[in-house]
């Protein structure tokens, strides 16, 4: 099956553990401010700290290491790409050079160094996002976004799109299999043609399904209003503790991030 080699990380978010129980607003505040810290930090240690802390957190809620590593593969490759872009273009001092087809290609020390820093930032940042997404379901995310005043239309569409991705993926993979088992993908040309058909069927079915869904929505009184009932629970003592803790941690990081060591 070529489809859905992606695993959406919110399958883990449906479990019940200490991280999933934390209020989403607190988690969002944490993640966003830590991501900003991660960007602003002047030394590599902060990002490495975030990376390792994230792994410990993920370990503490029993997310399989393999899953985490798999989802870090693409960010990692992107980070390596940046490393070379920077290495090739930034700075003066050569670290090493090659001759490729008559051209000299040289990697520069300064660029590599700042590239390495960016790599660390990428990994640190992405691991924070993974911690967030592995412990927060989509409906919680919507609640959180609502609290952050993200427009309702976006939140509704987000919830709606997310809800139907899996369904359509399932349907499409059945159709794909049906095509495959009648040899519709046996050569490159056929495969392209069949993918066109598949996309067309997908669009048509999405269109028809939207009509049926709209009927079902109308039957429950929908007249163009909101489609989400978001229930914000009041903040509890726990949440306040977390937020105060965050302020402390942040000030520590701001201090640590400004120390020049490299």
Partner 1 sequence: MVALQIRNIRYRYHDGTYALCGVCLDIQKGEFLAVLGPNGSGKTTLLKHLNGLLKPMEGEILLEQKSLAQYSSREIFQKVGIVFQDPNDQLFAPSVWEDVAFGPMNLGLSKNEITHRVEEALSLVGMLQHTNKAVDALSFGQKKRVCIAGVLAMKPEVLVLDEPTCGLDPAGVTSIMTLLKELNDKYGITIVMATNAVDLAPIYMDRLAIMYQGSILTVGAPVDVFSNTDEIKHACLELPQIAQLMQVLRDEDNLPMGNLPLTVGEARKFLAHRLNGIRLMIRDQVSA
Partner 2 sequence: MSRSVALFTGVFLLVFFAFGKAAYAMHITEGILPPRWVFTWFAVVIPFVGIGIYHVKRKKKAVPGYLPLVGMLGAAVFVFSCFPIPVISLNGMATSHPCGTGMSAVLLGPFVSVVVAAIALLIQALFLAHGGLTTLGGNIFSMGVLGSFSGYFAFKIAQRCKLSLFWCGFLAGTISDLFTYLGTSIELGLLVINKGGSFLKAVAEIFGMFMMTSQGVLCIVEGVIVGFILLFIYRRKPSILLDLGVIKDAAKPVQM
Angstrom CA distances, 211 to 65, 157, 200, 208, 214, stand at 42, 16, 17, 5, 5
Q: Which of 23, 57, 194, 253 binds partner 1 (CB under 8 A)?
A: 194
Residue 197 lies near partner 2 (rule: CB under 8 A): yes
Angstrom CA distances, 61 to 52, 65, 111, 131, 140, stand at 15, 11, 38, 10, 18
Measured from the CB atom, the residue of 102 and 225 that comes closer to partner 1 is 225
* Contact (Cβ atoms closer than 8 angstroms) between residue 129 and residue 31: yes
Measured from the CB atom, the residue of 13 and 123 that comes closer to partner 1 is 13
Runs of H (alpha helix) within the chain: 10-13, 18-21, 24-40, 44-60, 65-89, 109-134, 138-147, 152-180, 188-218, 237-258
Residue 44 lies near partner 2 (rule: CB under 8 A): no
Residue 219 lies near partner 2 (rule: CB under 8 A): no
Q: What is the dihedral of CA 50, 53, 54, 60, to 10 degrees?
A: -170
Interacting positions 142-181 with partner 1 (CB under 8 A)? 142, 159-160, 162-164, 166-167, 171, 174-175, 177-181
Interacting positions 79-118 with partner 1 (CB under 8 A)? none
Residue 191's binding partner among partner 1, partner 2, none (Cβ under 5 to 8 angstroms by kind) is partner 2
Residue 14's binding partner among partner 1, partner 2, none (Cβ under 5 to 8 angstroms by kind) is partner 1
- In the complex, which residues of this chain contact partner 1 (CB under 8 A)? 1, 4-8, 10-11, 14, 137-139, 142, 159-160, 162-164, 166-167, 171, 174-175, 177-184, 186, 190, 194, 197, 201, 205, 209, 212-213, 215-223, 225-231
């Amino acid at each position: 099956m070529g489809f859905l080699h992606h695993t959406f990380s919110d399958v883990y978010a449906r479990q019940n553990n200490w991280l999933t129980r934390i209020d989403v607003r607190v988690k969002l505040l944490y993640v966003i401010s830590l991501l900003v810290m991660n960007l602003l930090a002047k030394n590599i240690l902060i990002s490495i700290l975030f990376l390792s802390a994230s792994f410990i957190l993920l370990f503490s809620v029993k997310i399989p290491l393999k899953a985490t590593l798999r989802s870090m593969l693409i960010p990692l490759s992107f980070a390596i790409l940046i490393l070379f872009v920077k290495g090739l273009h930034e700075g003066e001092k050569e670290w090493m050079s090659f001759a490729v087809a008559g051209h000299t290609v040289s990697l520069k020390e300064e660029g590599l160094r700042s590239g390495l820093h960016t790599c660390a930032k990428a990994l640190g940042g992405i691991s924070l996002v993974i911690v967030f997404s592995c412990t927060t379901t989509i409906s919680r995310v919507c609640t959180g976004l609502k609290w952050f005043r993200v427009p309702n239309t976006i939140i509704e569409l987000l919830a709606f799109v997310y809800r139907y991705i899996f369904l359509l993926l399932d349907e499409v993979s059945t159709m794909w299999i049906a095509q495959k088992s009648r040899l519709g993908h046996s050569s490159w040309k056929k495969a392209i043609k069949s993918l066109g058909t598949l996309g067309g069927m997908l669009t048509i079915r999405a269109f028809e399904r939207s009509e049926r869904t709209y009927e079902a929505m109308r039957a429950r009184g929908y007249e163009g209003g909101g489609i989400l009932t978001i229930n914000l629970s009041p903040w509890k003592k726990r949440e306040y503790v977390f937020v105060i803790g965050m302020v402390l941690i942040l000030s520590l990081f701001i201090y640590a991030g400004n120390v020049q060591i490299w």
